[in-house]
Amino acid sequence: MIIVVGENVVDLVPSGEGLLRPALGGGPANTAVAAARLGAPVAFAARLGRDAFGAAFRARLAAAGVDGRYLVDARQPSALALATVGPDGAARYDFWLAGAADFCWRDAELPVPAPWAVVHLASLAAFLPPGADVLERWAQRHRPHGTVTFDPNLRPVALARPDSLVRLERLVGLAHVVRLSEEDALLAYPDATPLATARRWLSRGPALVVLTHGADGATALSPAGEVRVAAPDVAVVDTIGAGDTAMGALLAALHRRDALTPAAIAALTTTDLTETLRYVCTAAALACTRPGADPPTGAEVDAALAAPAAERRA
């Protein structure tokens, strides 16, 4: 079982004429939905707001096949984000997070993972206290007899705290698998190239670091070496949820290979990594062809991978 923990966020997406359309998102929630749609066994641990959005989040997760046994009904409201989509489809977010349910974890609310389960930390919930402290302790307790994965999915609001980079480095050292976007790397360490940051992180403990380059594909770094795969050409509607889909696809691809234990992750060959990255890049590209955070299904990704190259470019 893969247990994803983190926030749900209501994305307020422009819908024309100055109007906003609420879309259900949140980095970790999107990752859980993506991994489940792609066939991985996923449970989501989250605190749901007391408003109507809380019920909508629960329904969204259930519809995607995400196990909801670890969802907690909280008295606080749901988190909101205003999404601004640029001419190239890239999204920027302004968050309203004060007092939101997602960041108020208590130790007793979190599940006790079974031995050798996978726990995945990500995004705002991994950085914003008091909940971030609780989640980090939880992952530390699990690491000796399980797998920890991490996607920083950084936002300026997370890095605004004085201890943010210290926490970031601790979480990297705690993880067996890390997904890092170029944007994340430059936001955290603007004086280093993203590849240099990924290489440094690999030396700090993870067995696999995947650096995503947006429309330019992704690079995997592991003890076996480095491999890079190009992304397929698609007509981009927006990039909302693309990075989260990449992380969900990475978890699903490793699950397909029965490679989610620390030993199996460390044993991946460059051929394994190339095939895994093709799956990740294809899933993320398909997510960009539809509005909002709407990851593809496993059947859609398999069909895209099987299509001739000329058809994939069409």
* pLDDT tens-digit map of 193-235: 999 999 999 999 999 999 999 999 999 999 999 999 999 999 9
Kindly give the pairing relationship between strand 79-85 and strand 91-96: antiparallel
Helix (H) / strand (E) containing 214? none
Determine contact, residues 68/42, Cβ cutoff 8 Å: no
Taking the C-alpha atoms of residue 96 and residue 98, their distance in angstroms, rounded to an integer, is: 6
Domain positions in the chain: 2-313
pLDDT at 122 over 80: yes
pLDDT tier at 111, thresholds 50, 70, 90: very high
Grouping H, G, I as helix, E, B as strand and the rest as coil, residue 56 is helix
pLDDT tier at 309, thresholds 50, 70, 90: low
Residue 309: both structure tokens together = 């190259």
Specify which of 12-16, 130-134, 157-161, 235-239 reaches the highest per-range mean pLDDT. Answer: 130-134
Cα-Cα-Cα-Cα torsion 99, 25, 178, 263, nearest 10 degrees, comes to 110
Residues of the chain with pLDDT > 70, as a percent, come to 97
Taking the C-alpha atoms of residue 93 and residue 73, their distance in angstroms, rounded to an integer, is: 26
pLDDT tier at 182, thresholds 50, 70, 90: very high
pLDDT at 240 over 70: yes
Taking the C-alpha atoms of residue 91 and residue 8, their distance in angstroms, rounded to an integer, is: 17
Report the pLDDT value the prediction gives residue 293, as an integer from 0 to 100: 85
The predicted model gives 167-195 an average pLDDT of: 97
* pLDDT tens-digit map of 245-267: 999 999 999 999 999 999 999 99
- pTM score > 0.75 for this model? yes
The predicted model gives 33-43 an average pLDDT of: 98
Fold of 2-313: UDP-N-acetylmuramoyl-L-alanine:D-glutamate ligase (3.40.1190)
